[in-house]
Chain A
């Protein structure tokens, strides 16, 4: 069973990546990038297929056999591709490698320390995500996990990519060991760094890859959020995968539709990870369309998001209770909040204070704001950068319009939103800087 599950994760991920990339990898960084994307997509597809199976009554082993067959077929269909041409790489100085290894050591130690201090994970991990995994694994009746009698705090309307993966891990382990959610959290933590870092390495060399890795690893909130076993880092990984695939596709003249379809697939898995993922998928599609005017490519992206989109739709229609933000909002409250200048001002003050919130972000958000306003805005707009700006603008509107007390919801959610966006933001910021300084 364990071997079948591992194959059901590895083969579809590898098959999808082989199908999407027009050439074979020739460098170590390129191979590592594809393995990272394949792992993220493979694990996500395995969990999404489990959810589809549970909702339609398909047994888990049958689902795994189907995934293995699909993955093998994709790999077979993608054989005999030409080798990719190597790019000139900007090598990293030795001291930067040393700093990178130091950052890895401190982040791993911080992850372990935080896990020791919070053995059940962060508050949201046991209140929402691992609670849901327990329901999935302990009760054959799926409806109990999404009972309307569960209080608001359990967020029974949230999609369940992470709970689905954890529940399957519990079954494979034969017991509900806390190592399962911890291992899944650690895997997504590594992928959050590797996807952004290896994309920068593949395009501009190891110097830029290490800078991307450092910007993620040394964000003080990063090891904490990874250790918390919540769905924010996994959502950040899927957003980064989608962003990386869009960046890689747009770096080629022909802008391969398959790569964009795979980007859509990654964005769809993000939507199946957390509600915010739907917003990111829409923003990525809009960013792609606005910056490239490529309707065919945007349709390919949208087509890639269809499988997870249908799963999410089925869940929301047949199982999920109403979302609290929608349930508690009225037309009058939306209009009143939208026209309230004090509420917008309050949000602006909170946001500015968060930019200089040293204990979570050190100086990174200050540097990001400076980089955006001074350098990056002078460079041509990119699909990923545009998508991220659209997402931030949408979050501002959601904060103002939502029905809960603004201070409470902002302070309990904004760090997690920033961490969701951060790997893709690092990519969107560093790549234009790498491009413009390649000649200097």
Chain B
């Protein structure tokens, strides 16, 4: 094997890699994928109603798997919890803690708020925007 051959082999590998990247980023992804929304705007109105630090409870209308059970187990509920935690940090969101003085309700379907209140026995403090609410124990 000469250095010229090694150079040619790496160059071919590089061209293949470049073409793959170019196809994915500039042809395939624009056609088949959407731009993600920024996480923070959804939680800005909610943040104003919560303490800046400490802990609050967290409930959701879709299930969250606290443990992985298989590759496809990153359901909507997990993403919603993680995004809420990211946006509301340094507040720690205690999943399914209904005894906390304040409980964040994060809803995939805003119409399910009464159903969540009934299931958890919590009462509404405020609903600053559809899909997010602050609840408290009765």
B48 at interface (Cβ–Cβ under 8 A)? no
Q: How many A residues face the partner with a CB closer than 8 A?
A: 64
Which residues of B are found within 8 Å of A119, using beta-carbon distances? 35-36, 38
Q: Is the interface of A mostly helix, strand, loop or mixed?
A: helix
Find out whether the CB atom of A126 lies under 8 angstroms from the CB atom of B35: no
Find out whether the CB atom of A113 lies under 8 angstroms from the CB atom of B35: no
User: Residue B1 contacts which of A99, A102, A412, A437 (CB distance < 8 angstroms)?
Assistant: A437
Find out whether the CB atom of B20 lies under 8 angstroms from the CB atom of A207: no
Which one of A79-87, A132-140, A188-196 is at the interface? A132-140
User: Residue A408 contacts which of B6, B11, B33, B68 (CB distance < 8 angstroms)?
Assistant: B68
Tell me, in angstroms, the Cα distance from A437 to B92 when the chains sit together: 58
Which residues of A are found within 8 Å of B89, using beta-carbon distances? 131, 134-135, 138-139
Evaluate whether A106 and B18 lie within 8 angstroms (CB atoms) in the complex, with A117-B36, A405-B70 already known: yes
Find out whether the CB atom of B69 lies under 8 angstroms from the CB atom of A405: yes
A149 at interface (Cβ–Cβ under 8 A)? yes
Q: In angstroms, how far is the closest chain B Cβ from the Cβ of A429?
A: 10
User: Residue A149 contacts which of B10, B83, B94 (CB distance < 8 angstroms)?
Assistant: B94
Most chain A CB within 10 A, of B25, B69, B73, is at B25
A60 at interface (Cβ–Cβ under 8 A)? no
Within A161-209, the residues touching B (CB, 8 Å) are 207
Most chain A CB within 10 A, of B1, B15, B17, B71, is at B17
Find out whether the CB atom of B15 lies under 8 angstroms from the CB atom of A99: yes
Interface 0/1 of B64-82, CB less than 8 Å to A:
0011111101000010011
Which one of A37-45, A150-158, A236-244, A391-399 is at the interface? A150-158
Find out whether the CB atom of B82 lies under 8 angstroms from the CB atom of A127: yes
Q: How many B residues face the partner with a CB closer than 8 A?
A: 47
Find out whether the CB atom of A110 lies under 8 angstroms from the CB atom of B10: no
Within A203-247, the residues touching B (CB, 8 Å) are 207, 211, 214-215, 217-220, 223
Evaluate whether A134 and B90 lie within 8 angstroms (CB atoms) in the complex, with A106-B18, A117-B29 already known: yes
Tell me, in angstroms, the Cα distance from A438 to B83 when the chains sit together: 53
Residue in B closest to A367 when the chains form the complex, CB atoms: B13
Tell me, in angstroms, the Cα distance from A322 to B20 when the chains sit together: 40
Evaluate whether A126 and B83 lie within 8 angstroms (CB atoms) in the complex, with A218-B14, A433-B6 already known: yes
A407 at interface (Cβ–Cβ under 8 A)? yes
Which residues of B are found within 8 Å of A219, using beta-carbon distances? 17
Within B1-60, the residues touching A (CB, 8 Å) are 1-3, 6-7, 9-11, 13-18, 20-22, 24-26, 29, 33, 35-36, 38-39, 52-53, 55
> Could you list 18 A-B pairs, sorted by A, with CB under 8 Å?
A103-B14, A109-B26, A113-B29, A117-B35, A117-B36, A131-B89, A135-B89, A149-B92, A151-B66, A154-B85, A223-B25, A362-B20, A407-B70, A407-B71, A409-B68, A411-B71, A434-B3, A437-B1
Additional A-B contact list (20), CB under 8 Å, known A135-B89, A408-B69: A96-B7, A103-B18, A109-B25, A113-B25, A113-B26, A114-B25, A131-B85, A135-B90, A149-B92, A153-B82, A154-B82, A214-B13, A218-B17, A218-B18, A220-B17, A359-B24, A363-B17, A434-B3, A436-B1, A437-B2
